[in-house]
Structure 1
């Protein structure tokens, strides 16, 4: 029997322009271990970017029913709005998620909370990993988002925490370049740059894979 190929969504939680999220998403992709071609020790997986800029979900939804009150088996057809139905079907197609989330004013962006709140059943029970970034790593925003994901009954990887900090110096210059759309090749190729965060990301991602297979 062929092994299942897990589909993991890498959600860009920022819709601010300019932003460093696309560059960091590419960086995260480059650090993830290659998908195995055999079912052992892990099953194959794909990682697909979900950019919230591609999903302009209005802040005030016109859905007449709170998502938690809709039968899971009725989705996405139970939604009345075509945009909601499309968002529901897209999120439901994934087995797990990596939330690439910045910290704005000591919290996480409104865009990701809005995108989450459009749905409920499509998130529940699925493994999740929050990768934060910000002036000091975005830990406060990450913790708040983790609390929300737990409320959705998602299985969240919390150890090790993963946060990319933009401080004065080399990484501060990286943030400015990323927001300006400049090439970051030399910075991201530097193996000594964000060394601890690189290791933590791989460890956390492996935990995510283990949760997908109900291991550990």
Structure 2
């Protein structure tokens, strides 16, 4: 059974991303096809990238990098929950992705995004980054427009169809995570 991380992609104080990630995690955990864990990048205190060698070498000198690498290595797939900052993903999420390399390879990922326009531009950038990290991104995604799903901002109130839309993302991430296990050997 695939093990999938629901990744909180923001470290900003007062972030709604954590609330959305908790909803994703709770919903996903009720499904029988995989196990899900919440992973908050804020818990890892990653500085701006500070390793001497590029991550493709897999030689990590700092304890924070080794801790992050070990955590990511545990998973077969990911659901990234991300806000959109200035038409892109948050710098903290990009930094967390950049810190390591092999631990991401040949795994699946889906996206839940948040912003005025649903965060789709952040996901566009994340898909490009994921491709370079050899993460296979699924077709389904769940954009959450602020005016629809946060009518009393910052309170998150998913609209009626969101659970079904999330289920499509989770179905694909679970399926691809299982299929890619044979690639990882």
| TM-score normalised per structure 1 | 0.77
Other structure's SS at 1:176 match: coil
Tell me whether 1:142 sits opposite 2:123 in the alignment.
Answer: yes
Aligned-pair CA distance for 1:69: 2.9
2:146 is equivalent to residue 166 of structure 1: yes
Q: How does 1:100-139 map to 2 (within 5 A)?
A: 100-139=81-120
Point out where structure 2 has 5 or more consecutive residues left out of the alignment.
181-185
How far apart, CA to CA, are the structure 2 residues paired with 1:161 and 1:12?
A: 15
Does 1:176 find its partner at 2:172?
no
Matches for 1:79-90 after TM superposition, within 5 Å: 79-90=60-71
* Structure 1 unmatched ranges of 5 or more: 37-43, 71-77, 179-186, 188-192
Residues 152, 170 of structure 1: CA spacing in aligned structure 2 closer, same or farther, 3 A cutoff?
A: closer
CA distance in 2, matches of 1:97, 1:115: 13
Deviation at 1:164, TM superposition (A): 0.8
* Aligned counterpart, 1:69: 57
CA gap of 1:90–1:145, structure 2 versus 1, over 3 A, is same
- In the alignment, the residues of structure 2 paired with residue 13 and residue 87 of structure 1 have an alpha-carbon distance, to the nearest angstrom, of 14
Query: How far apart, CA to CA, are the structure 1 residues paired with 2:149 and 2:115?
Result: 14
Alignment partner, residue 166 of structure 2: 201
Say which SS state the counterpart of residue 154 (structure 2) adopts: helix
Q: In the aligned structure 1, how far is the partner of 2:47 from the partner of 2:178?
A: 35
Number of residue-to-residue matches in the alignment: 180
CA distance in 2, matches of 1:33, 1:13: 19
CA RMSD in angstroms, aligned pairs only: 1.9
| Structure with greater Cα Rg | 1
C-alpha separation between the residues in 1 aligned to 2:66 and 2:57? 16
CA distance in 1, matches of 2:79, 2:4: 7
TM-score (structure 2 length as normaliser): 0.89
Say whether the 8 Å CA contact 2:49–2:95 is kept in structure 1. Answer: no
Structure 1 counterpart of 2:183? none
- Going from structure 1 to structure 2, the CA distance change for 1:95 and 1:166 (only over 3 Å counts) comes to same
- Name the CA distance, whole Å, in 2 between partners of 1:48 and 1:29: 7
| Partner SS, residue 106 of structure 1 | coil
Measure the CA separation in 2 of the matches of 1:80 and 1:32.
35
